[in-house]
Amino acid sequence: MTTERFLLKDFFNPETIGIIAEAVAGAYPDFNAGSFVIAVFDDQWDGRELKQRMRQASECLRAALPDDYEEALAILVEAGPNTAEAGFAAMVMSDFVEAHGIDYFKASVDALAVFTRTISAEFAVRPFLVRYPEAMLARMLDWADGPDPALRRLASEGSRPRLPWGMALKQYQADPAPIIPLLAKLRHDPSEDVRRSVANNLNDIAKDHPDLVVEVLGSWQDGSDEVADITRHALRVLIKQGHAGALELLGFHPDPDIVVEQLTVEPSPATIGSKVAVSFTVRSTGATTQPIVVDGVVHFARQTGTSKKVFKWKTAELAPGASVPIRRSVTLQHLSTRRIYAGTHAVEVQVNGAVKAAAQFEVEADG
């Protein structure tokens, strides 16, 4: 028996769109909720992906509301708090602003500040950072100082240079300096969601400016749990890459006194669709206790060349002479982000960013 996988785009369905329709009708009696729902689910609906479905719903809202943008927006602002039960689909309200409100800075940004309390407006705020960089960043700095955690998170999440599914903020990819003070304001935020967003923002920045992120986080170190958590999460990609400054900041020596023994990959050959088991032991040869982070670097064969994937496998402290056995499985199933090909694959054991052992294994087509 097989079941269909639920996708984010499936949040946009007759039930959630119906909730939005009822909320808007409650704020605007001339709104025909039934006709709106019919218009949303046109004959192209099934072929639309997440952002396309969101935009289809917001365009249908635009067609059903008054021609004057600010009049239409006022209706949606009144309706917004009543869309909470629509969950993720309530982002339609912010998408309306993203699609139609760029020429109305104050009214649009005020509305996003309302909508984000129901569901984050992190996508919709980004065009305003591009069009009005100084004014929008000033507004975000005000949000960062304010009492509302939804707005504080929007300030951080909305300014991420590489927000997944969001418009890339190329100005901050090139020069993230303008958003560093914003993130600094939020590093001790009482909300874990806000602090996690700060870490994700720094992780985005690290993809283009790794040394800057290590420098910033180094200047923040004050012994607090909040900054320690942000530091660990923000440096996760740099740790996988073996960045010496990131490793040092987290207390991991880039060349630990350890050996990796008895590395095996079984079975070999394996078949596409199966798994292999990677087993080995990490043993300390040092005279003092050493913190270690162990990653598995798998080089998957492709039609031409290989592709690399780093897996987080173990974090531990090794006393002198101590050892830790590690056994992990690596799937050879096709994924939406990676196909498996027959051929020679390889596994490297990386400890504190340094490769300490490697082994190859073969993969064959099933049947």
- d(Cα 60, Cα 12) in Å, to the nearest integer? 14
pLDDT number for residue 254: 85
- d(Cα 254, Cα 14) in Å, to the nearest integer? 54
pLDDT number for residue 195: 98
pLDDT number for residue 6: 67
pLDDT number for residue 367: 59
Q: Decide: 315 and 336 in contact? Cβ < 8 Å.
A: no
Residue 243 neighbours by CB under 8 Å, 6+ apart = 210, 214, 235, 353
Q: Tens of pLDDT along 146-183?
A: 999 999 999 999 999 999 989 999 999 999 999 999 99
- d(Cα 194, Cα 155) in Å, to the nearest integer? 9
Full pLDDT tens readout for the chain, 367 residues: 344 566 889 999 999 999 999 999 999 999 999 999 999 999 999 999 999 999 999 999 999 999 999 999 999 999 999 999 999 999 999 999 999 999 999 999 999 999 999 999 999 999 999 999 999 999 999 999 999 999 999 999 999 999 998 999 999 999 999 999 999 999 999 999 999 999 999 999 999 999 999 999 999 999 999 999 999 999 999 988 889 899 999 999 888 999 999 999 999 999 999 999 999 999 999 999 999 999 999 999 999 999 999 999 999 999 999 999 999 999 999 998 889 999 999 999 999 988 999 999 999 987 5
Distance between start and end Cα atoms, the chain:
23
Q: Decide: 315 and 294 in contact? Cβ < 8 Å.
A: yes
Buried b (16+ CB within 10 A) or exposed e, 231-244: beebbbbbbbbbbb
- d(Cα 250, Cα 291) in Å, to the nearest integer? 9
Answer positive or negative: Cα dihedral of 22, 23, 27, 32: negative
In the chain, what are the domain boundaries?
1-124, 258-364
What single letter denotes the amino acid at residue 201?
N
3-state secondary structure of 219: helix
Q: Decide: 234 and 199 in contact? Cβ < 8 Å.
A: yes
Phi then psi for residue 309, to 5 deg, are -135, 130
Q: Decide: 80 and 93 in contact? Cβ < 8 Å.
A: yes
DSSP assignment letter at 303: S
pLDDT number for residue 2: 45
- How many H helices and E strands in the chain? 16, 8
pLDDT number for residue 255: 87
Is the previous residue joined to 176 through a cis bond, with omega within 30 degrees of 0? no
Which helix (H) or strand (E) covers residue 296, if one does?
Answer: strand 290-301
Fold annotation for 258-364: Immunoglobulin-like (2.60.40)
pLDDT number for residue 336: 80
Model pTM score:
0.84
